[in-house]
């Protein structure tokens, strides 16, 4: 009777005394493969080769924290300040990681994967891609940053990719779009860290639909550090919000 809706999983097999991640014994992975390699395995189903492992390590290290201003940190600290446990505070931080905060990885990877799969050479594709965005007056996700003119994390990621001889059609396309933009508009719109992660993970073969996941995996330790700092340095219910607000709604009135 309860046979309805049997389902399958290919991630982890569990038996008493045995845990196998994608077929590998967890006890064998521990101590023999780095944390980043095991994350790669869980997400992709296979272990990375040496270049992929180094590249992935750098990607995950790139976004562990960016200070107190991002929405995710404000959200984590606010929930901490309301008197809540670590997991609730971290969950609230992750909830803030939406379309306009971290979401560019996902959207940029989607665009790169869509366009890089088309026939044609990269510079032609970059030209068409940019034309389309300019024509539709849309923002290019993964380009530009509200603080950094040149994002130091992008520079570093691309340098590591070059050293590892790790570059494919997606990185090339991302760079070609950046170059083409400068040509057409006469000003730079540099690839930000979201765009760089999108390009590199696309060359690694990751589906764009987990793009936001790389950012979340990376940032989670930063959120925990902010939870802890709020806990030990600040008093509960402190004024975390921008205090510069004003009420401009209906004037005081009476029920009829």
* Residues within window 189-218 making contact with a second copy, judged by CB under 8 A: 207, 209-210, 212-213, 216-218
Query: Considering only residues 75, 178, 192, 201, which one is a binding residue for a second copy as defined by CB under 8 A?
Result: 75
Give, for 164, the enclosing helix (H) or strand (E): none
- Candidates 48, 52, 78, 143; binder of a second copy (CB under 8 A) is 78
Distance CA(94)–CA(115), nearest Å, equals 29
Give min distance, CB of 36 to a second copy, in A.
Answer: 4
Residues 107-146 that bind a second copy (CB under 8 A): 146
Q: Does 165 bind a second copy (CB under 8 A)?
A: no
- Those residues whose C-beta lies under 8 Å from the C-beta of residue 85, and which sit 6 or more positions away, are none
Answer yes or no whether residue 166 interacts with a second copy by CB under 8 A.
Answer: no
| Assigned token pair, 66 | 């960016």
Number of residues binding to a second copy, judged by CB under 8 A:
134
Rounded distance, CA 169 to CA 171, Å?
A: 6
Q: Which of 51, 88, 110, 167 binds a second copy (CB under 8 A)?
A: 88
User: How far apart are the C-alpha atoms of 190 and 188, rounded to whole Å?
Assistant: 6
Neighbouring CB atoms inside 10 A of 106's CB total 22
Among 51, 117, 147, 183, binds a second copy (CB under 8 A): 147
172 binds a second copy (CB under 8 A): no
Query: Binding residue for a second copy (CB under 8 A) from 31, 119, 121, 137?
Result: 31
3-state secondary structure of 141: coil
Is residue 51 a contact point for a second copy (CB under 8 A)? Answer: no
Of 82 and 120, which CB lies nearer to a second copy in the complex structure?
82
For residue 164, give every residue at least 6 positions away whose Cβ sits within 8 Å of its Cβ, in sequence order, or none: 51, 54, 55
Q: How far is the CB of 196 from a second copy (least distance, A)?
A: 11
Cβ neighbours for 217, distance < 8 A, ≥ 6 positions apart: 39, 60
């Amino acid at each position: 009777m309860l046979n309805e809706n049997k389902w399958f999983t290919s991630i982890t097999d569990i038996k008493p005394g045995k845990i196998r991640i994608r077929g590998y014994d967890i006890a064998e992975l521990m101590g023999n493969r780095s944390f980043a390699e095991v994350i790669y395995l869980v997400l992709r189903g296979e272990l990375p080769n040496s270049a992929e492992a180094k590249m992935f390590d750098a990607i995950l290290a790139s976004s562990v924290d960016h200070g107190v201003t991002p929405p995710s940190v404000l959200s984590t600290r606010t929930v901490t300040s309301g008197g809540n446990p670590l997991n609730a505070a971290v969950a609230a931080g992750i909830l803030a990681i939406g379309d306009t905060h971290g979401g560019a990885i996902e959207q940029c990877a989607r665009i790169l994967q869509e366009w890089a799969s088309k026939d044609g050479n990269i510079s032609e594709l970059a030209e068409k891609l940019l034309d389309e965005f300019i024509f539709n007056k849309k923002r290019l996700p993964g380009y530009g940053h509200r603080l950094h003119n040149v994002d130091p994390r992008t520079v570093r990621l691309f340098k590591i990719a070059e050293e590892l001889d790790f570059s494919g059609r997606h990185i090339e396309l991302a760079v070609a779009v950046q170059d083409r933009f400068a040509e057409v508009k006469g000003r730079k719109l540099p690839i930000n860290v979201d765009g760089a992660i999108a390009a590199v993970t696309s060359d690694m073969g990751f589906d764009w639909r987990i793009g936001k996941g790389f950012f979340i995996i990376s940032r989670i330790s930063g959120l925990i550090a902010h939870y802890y700092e709020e806990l030990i340095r600040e008093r509960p219910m402190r004024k975390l919000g921008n205090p510069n607000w004003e009420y401009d709604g209906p004037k005081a009135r009476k029920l009829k």
